[in-house]
């Protein structure tokens, strides 16, 4: 995977959406780290489904991506 600067304005609908998975219990620390690097907080989804919690962020150009954590198997 690589990133490059766009030559023109951002498209109205982004072409890709990344879901980054982190170990259970580390989502908030990773979100805080990404916010410190320039991401913008959008929303959390913490109790919609039992098998995942995620936070949606935007990169400095406004592209959305998620940081997700899955609970350990029981």
Strand 52-58 versus strand 64-69 pairing type: antiparallel
pLDDT of 3 > 70? The answer is no
| Digit-coded pLDDT (tens) for 4-44 | 666 777 666 667 788 999 999 999 999 999 999 999 999 99
Res 16: pLDDT: 77
Global pTM?
0.79
Q: Report CA-CA distances (Å) from 68 to 5, 19, 44, 47.
A: 26, 7, 10, 12
Tokens, residue 20: 């980054």
Res 11: pLDDT: 65
Set out the domains of the chain in order of their start, with CATH numbers: 18-69 (3.10.180.10)
| Digit-coded pLDDT (tens) for 44-68 | 999 998 899 999 999 988 889 999 9
Q: Show Cβ contacts of residue 45 under 8 Å, excluding neighbours closer than 6 positions.
A: 53, 54, 55, 56
Tokens, residue 4: 């490059």
């Amino acid at each position: 995977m690589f990133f490059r600067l766009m030559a023109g304005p951002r498209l109205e609908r982004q072409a890709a959406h990344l879901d980054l998975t982190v170990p259970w219990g580390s989502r908030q620390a990773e979100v805080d780290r990404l916010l410190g690097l320039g991401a913008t907080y959008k929303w959390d989804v913490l109790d919609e489904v039992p098998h995942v919690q995620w936070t949606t962020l935007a990169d400095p150009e406004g592209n959305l991506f998620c940081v997700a954590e899955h609970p350990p198997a029981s």
